[in-house]
Structure 1
Amino acid sequence: MKCFETVTLIAASPATVFDLSLDVDLHTASMAGSGERIVGGVRAGRMTLGDTVTWEARHFGVRWRMTSRISAYERPGRFVDEQVAGPFKRWHHTHHFAPDGRGGTVMRDVIEFAAPFGLLGTGVEAVALARYMHKLIEARNVHVKECAEASA
């Protein structure tokens, strides 16, 4: 299993960043490069505790589906999304939002994931998947930052 963390500084309040981070429309826009789209569950607006969404996207030339659920929700400080069905053996993403002391937010993402397929999956994690997922989350965070700062 792999774990990585990203930190993004955003010039908007934690409540604003928290709410935008749960918006499926914003998420879809941030993942336009992979053609990500919603095929089930919450289809518009902001998710909340217990909500699920099923995403379909193309990564590594293969079309994937993943259903995730909001399993923890503590506005405006933290929420968790976890895979309930999809390509990973495990996907657990904790989103943290803390005041930066100047009216902005320190957004911290902690992602734990494991690829399927035993030793083959472990090899793919080490060679390519961890780096790919890290870049994907960072690109999403740039989009969240731009939207949050434009609305602040």
Structure 2
Amino acid sequence: MRIHHFETRILLPASPAHVFPFFADAANLERITPPELSFRILTELPIAMAEGTLIDYKLRLFGVPFRWKTRIRKWAPPRCFVDEQIRGPYRLWVHTHTFEPRPQGTLMTDRVRYALPLYPLGEMGAPAIHRLIQWIFWYRARALVGLIPEVGPPSDGVSAPGGHGGA
């Protein structure tokens, strides 16, 4: 199994105590996910977030519907939280969200460790999956501009890729 890494940062113009509640509300995930993925939360809302919380979703990837289940592995408001895939398209998916105070607001960092299914055959799709993940986080950064005033541009080179593969 090969582990891949993705990281992106964005500067948000408010304190972590102000920004964290937006990301702690699971319903907001639908608001910052590209509509092309037909992403829907299946778990009844509102979801009480804590370590061990399970969340079920459904989405479409390249037109193929599937379900995804995550567990909150770590919950430390307003500094960080970690969600991990329990069931879904990846062999491994661990997403760490950190919120660091800065003089101009909050530096939010997303770090994803993931492994593709069907190793080693699945590795042939690694470049396309990386571009897909890049596109999703680019979309999220752009969506946040409309949801949190004066959001700064992403700082890791997440920019509009030349195209997208289609979570």
Kindly state the Cα deviation for residue 147 of structure 1 after the two structures are TM-superposed.
2.2
| Cα pair distance change 1:121/1:89, threshold 3 Å | same
Kindly state the Cα deviation for residue 59 of structure 1 after the two structures are TM-superposed.
1.4
- Aligned residue number for residue 33 of structure 1: 36
**TM-score of the pair, normalised by structure 1:** 0.87
- Does the CA-based 8 Å contact 2:27-2:41 persist in structure 1? no
Map residues 61-72 of structure 1 onto 2, 5 A cutoff. 61-72=63-74
| Cα pair distance change 1:92/1:98, threshold 3 Å | same
- Does the CA-based 8 Å contact 2:95-2:111 persist in structure 1? yes
Richer in strand (by share): 1
- Aligned residue number for residue 90 of structure 1: 92
1:108 pairs with 2:109: yes
Aligned length, in residue pairs: 147
AA in 2 matched with 1:35: S
- Does the CA-based 8 Å contact 1:49-1:73 persist in structure 2? yes
Q: Could you tell me how far apart the structure 2 residues matched to 1:61 and 1:29 are?
A: 20
- Aligned residue number for residue 121 of structure 2: 120
Q: Could you tell me how far apart the structure 2 residues matched to 1:25 and 1:143 are?
A: 14
Provide structure 1 residue ranges, at least 5 long, that are not aligned to the other structure.
none
Cα RMSD for the two superposed structures:
1.8
Kindly state the Cα deviation for residue 6 of structure 1 after the two structures are TM-superposed.
0.1
AA in 2 matched with 1:24: A
Kindly state the Cα deviation for residue 78 of structure 1 after the two structures are TM-superposed.
0.8
Larger mean CA deviation between 22-31 and 93-102 belongs to 22-31
Map residues 55-66 of structure 1 onto 2, 5 A cutoff. 55-66=57-68
- Does the CA-based 8 Å contact 1:38-1:54 persist in structure 2? yes
**TM-score of the pair, normalised by structure 2:** 0.80
Q: Could you tell me how far apart the structure 1 residues matched to 2:116 and 2:99 are?
A: 27
Q: Which runs of 4+ in 1 moved over 4 A?
A: none
| Cα pair distance change 1:14/1:8, threshold 3 Å | same
Provide structure 2 residue ranges, at least 5 long, that are not aligned to the other structure.
151-167
- Does the CA-based 8 Å contact 2:56-2:68 persist in structure 1? yes
| Cα pair distance change 1:148/1:68, threshold 3 Å | same
AA in 1 matched with 2:72: I
Q: Could you tell me how far apart the structure 1 residues matched to 2:61 and 2:138 are?
A: 16
- Aligned residue number for residue 76 of structure 2: 74
- State percent identity of aligned pairs: 32
